[in-house]
Amino acid sequence: MPRYQAVLFDFDGVLIDSEPVHFTCWRDILAPLGVPLDWETYRRVCVGIADRAMVLELCRRVDPPADFDRVWAVYPRKRALFRERIAARVPIPPATIELVRSLPDYKLAVVSSSGRAEVEPPLESAGIRDAFGAVVCGEDVARLKPAPDPYLEAARRLGARSALVVEDSVAGIASGRAAGFDVLEIRDPGEVAARVLERLRLTLARASLDTRSAPPDRRR
């Protein structure tokens, strides 16, 4: 198993515990429009997909279906509300911040379907934006996750051929695998630091073992 050249992190639900914030923003914005949203539906239907596709699906689920254009018109308000709430408390676990700062031997990137205005400020506030050689957001690629485009673009910007993708959503996991990279599946942002370090150490140990066990070069 070769050593990874890069580690590519998803944003929402991996680097930052932002899904509950996204959920409450969407719930509060959509309720007056007659589009109810509960946490279980959000978790199953909305995580890891583009916002426009999410709104289309939520509108379809209402009986009778809600008018998409009317609902989508509130999207700027939702984004502004998210930025306001996330600025009050940047939910990046301290262990994750320390992890990002402790990986100088790897090229790092953030790969998210969210807009840059939602991704960059929390990274800046946490003091880790400079640790990432690339930040690929929803507006940077033609096709979002589960297509491979976001992770391929991140690898291209970093100049990396091998990478470990750290993801939590079905769409993100599919995107990383479609790009041809190994994927570390995360269940909770609080486990990111320990799980990533464990995988990287295991990879290095296997690479070292493979080198020691390789047959000697008998060419003369």
Q: Would the CATH topology of 6-17+91-213 be identical to that of 19-88? A: no
pTM above 0.85, yes or no: no
pLDDT digits (tens, 9 = 90+) for 134-192: 999 999 999 999 999 999 999 999 999 999 999 999 999 999 999 999 999 999 999 99
Cα→Cα distances 74→99, 160, 219, Å: 37, 39, 70
Q: What is the mean pLDDT of residues 102-130?
A: 93
- The per-type count for the chain, helices as H runs and strands as E runs, is 10, 5
CATH level 2 (architecture), domain 6-17+91-213: 3-Layer(aba) Sandwich (3.40)
Percent of the chain at pLDDT exceeding 70: 92
Confidence (pLDDT) at 1: 44
- How far apart CA 220 and CA 208 sit, in angstroms, is 25
- The beta strand positions in 112-193, using DSSP E, are 134-136, 163-167, 182-185
Listed by start position, the domains of the chain span: 6-17+91-213, 19-88
209 contact partners, CB below 8 Å, separation of at least 6: none
- CATH of the domain spanning 19-88, picked from 2.60.120, 1.10.10, 1.20.120, 1.10.150: 1.10.150
Q: Which band of pLDDT confidence, cut at 50, 70 and 90, is reported for residue 210?
A: low
**With 90 as the cut, is the pLDDT of residue 91 above it?**
no
Confidence (pLDDT) at 207: 56
- For residues 157 and 1, the answer to whether their CB atoms sit within 8 Å is no
**With 90 as the cut, is the pLDDT of residue 15 above it?**
yes
**With 60 as the cut, is the pLDDT of residue 17 above it?**
yes
